Amino acid sequence: MATATPPKPAAVPIPDERSTSRVSFDRTLASATSTIALRETIHLAIDSFQASKVRFLLTMLGMVIGSASIILVATLGLTGKDYALAQLNSIGPNKIEMQYGGGSVVGPDNTSTPDNMTREDMDAVLAQVPGIVASSPMLEDHAIISVGGGFTKDTMLLGVSPQYKTVRNLRVVAGRFFDDQDALLHTKVAVLVTPLAKAIFGSPADAVGKSISIRGIPFTVIGVFEESFNTYGQSEISEQTILIPYQVARYFTGTDKVKEIFFTMKDSADVVPASKRIAAIIRSRHRPSSIYNAVVMTGILEDMAKIADMLTLVLGLASLVTLIVSGVGIMNSMLANVSARTREIGIRKALGATSKEIRLQFLTEAVFLSLAGGLVGTLLGLAIPWSVSFLTPFKIPINYWSAVIALLTSVAVGVFFGMLPATRAAALDPVETLKYE
């Protein structure tokens, strides 16, 4: 019986060292050729700039202005946004303001009275809502005060707690604010708003220590205050406001009902959930038809930030118009450059330059032109806010992303508007170009 012969293993091809070396040589040659071609293209672009310096500088001017405008617009937008948010933050971003919105209680004689909030509502909230660091009720009344010498003044009285200064972030410009001891002892003291102190006594400093009469009761002016942010009359504080301790204000109103209740949270992240919880607690203590609104600054701050960002975006898009106009100028300049260098293009093609190399040459010149203008404009746009921050006490925020956007936009403009001249140059007939005069 014949034994089967096992098949021979397939021969493994041995790489040819000469073919491998040839492939490596071709790759090296192609790389060197492309490097030399790119270097030559760059040198030709530089020579073109040097030959027509004035024309190219004037063409670059639009890119300089456009790029600088993008950075300055972004800087101004960011500065305005930071300023506006800082002003709003000065009111108190952690503040919750409870307001009575409507509803009434019907008595036995069918008369209805407003279902106002009370001091007990505030105490209930403090007992059930954690994270509150300051609170104050607010009673409101109007009175004609006597300042001596037969002079009187129509004013608005606000009865508040000592923590009202913290909740409303008030600035005491002279004297002091009343404290817990003044409230506990029902001391007859008053704190005047700055315009009222100036109108009555001439200056905040002169008002401290003076006496005023409120409904026949003498009060000692112990301080003068102002809001940390000008609300232009859109808050409970006017130019005729007098602050007195809440316990003393009850003498004039004869009730515990309050117009507003203020709270300040420890953490800004707790403001929105706490406002909902506070509103629910107060509603549960009154008639279902009564309305109580919780006003917080969080939503206003977010809306203000969105508005500032949108304005910056719109102004930035307007700055892009300058870059587009500059791009049109670059295109016209490059088209004129192609016409002026028609014989040069013909000679280069006759010496072996391909259409791809001609296109790359003129496209490189257009990109270099726009990029150079964009670089100068970017440096100029950054130098202005830097100089202001360095030479003045004002710190101008700089958005460095705007510099990146300006540079990338300048390159994109060069490529887009340089494509038509480069394509036209590459499409020229070498025979006709050599005949061009």
- What stretches of 52-111 show up as alpha helix (H) in DSSP? 53-91
How is the chain split among helix, strand and coil, in percent rounded to 5? Answer: 60, 20, 20
The answer on pLDDT for 32 being more than 90 is no
Convert the pLDDT of each residue in 351-401 to its tens digit. Answer: 777 788 788 878 888 888 888 888 888 888 888 888 888 888 777 777 788
The answer on pLDDT for 408 being more than 90 is no
For residue 81, what pLDDT is reported? Answer: 73
The answer on pLDDT for 47 being more than 80 is no
Residue 38's alpha-carbon distances to 33, 34, 133, 361, in angstroms, are 9, 6, 68, 9
Please answer whether residues 94 and 237 qualify as being in contact, where contact means their C-beta atoms are separated by less than 8 angstroms: no
Using pLDDT thresholds of 50, 70 and 90, give the confidence band for residue 33.
very low
For residue 299, what pLDDT is reported? Answer: 67
Among the ranges given (12-16, 109-113, 143-147), the one the predictor scored with the smallest mean pLDDT: 12-16
Listed ranges 27-36, 39-48, 96-105; the one with the highest mean pLDDT: 96-105
Among the ranges given (203-212, 351-360, 405-414), the one the predictor scored with the smallest mean pLDDT: 351-360
For residue 127, what pLDDT is reported? Answer: 93
The answer on pLDDT for 40 being more than 70 is no
Strand pairing of 211-214 and 217-227?
antiparallel
- Distance (Å, rounded) from C-alpha 386 to C-alpha 122? 50
The answer on pLDDT for 124 being more than 90 is yes
For residue 392, what pLDDT is reported? Answer: 81
Using pLDDT thresholds of 50, 70 and 90, give the confidence band for residue 46.
low
Using pLDDT thresholds of 50, 70 and 90, give the confidence band for residue 35.
very low
Listed ranges 60-69, 218-227, 235-244, 380-389; the one with the highest mean pLDDT: 218-227
For residue 48, what pLDDT is reported? Answer: 64
| 243, β-bridge pairs | 158, 191
The percentage of the chain sitting over the pLDDT mark of 70, rounded to a whole number, equals 78
Considering only residues 226 and 63, tell me which one the structure prediction assigns the higher pLDDT: 226
In sequence order, the 6+-apart residues with CB closer than 8 A to the CB of 158 are: 138, 139, 140, 236, 237, 241, 242, 243, 244, 249
Please answer whether residues 245 and 183 qualify as being in contact, where contact means their C-beta atoms are separated by less than 8 angstroms: yes
Residue 419's alpha-carbon distances to 61, 118, 291, 365, 437, in angstroms, are 20, 74, 66, 11, 25
Considering only residues 137 and 73, tell me which one the structure prediction assigns the higher pLDDT: 137
> What mean pLDDT value characterizes the chain?
79
The answer on pLDDT for 14 being more than 70 is no
Q: Residue 285 corresponds to which tokens in the numbers above?
A: 């203590």
Convert the pLDDT of each residue in 126-185 to its tens digit. Answer: 999 999 999 999 998 888 887 766 677 888 999 999 999 988 888 999 999 999 999 999
Convert the pLDDT of each residue in 248-304 to its tens digit. Answer: 998 888 777 888 999 988 887 888 889 999 999 999 998 888 888 888 876 666 777
Using pLDDT thresholds of 50, 70 and 90, give the confidence band for residue 190.
very high
Q: Residue 60 corresponds to which tokens in the numbers above?
A: 């670059």
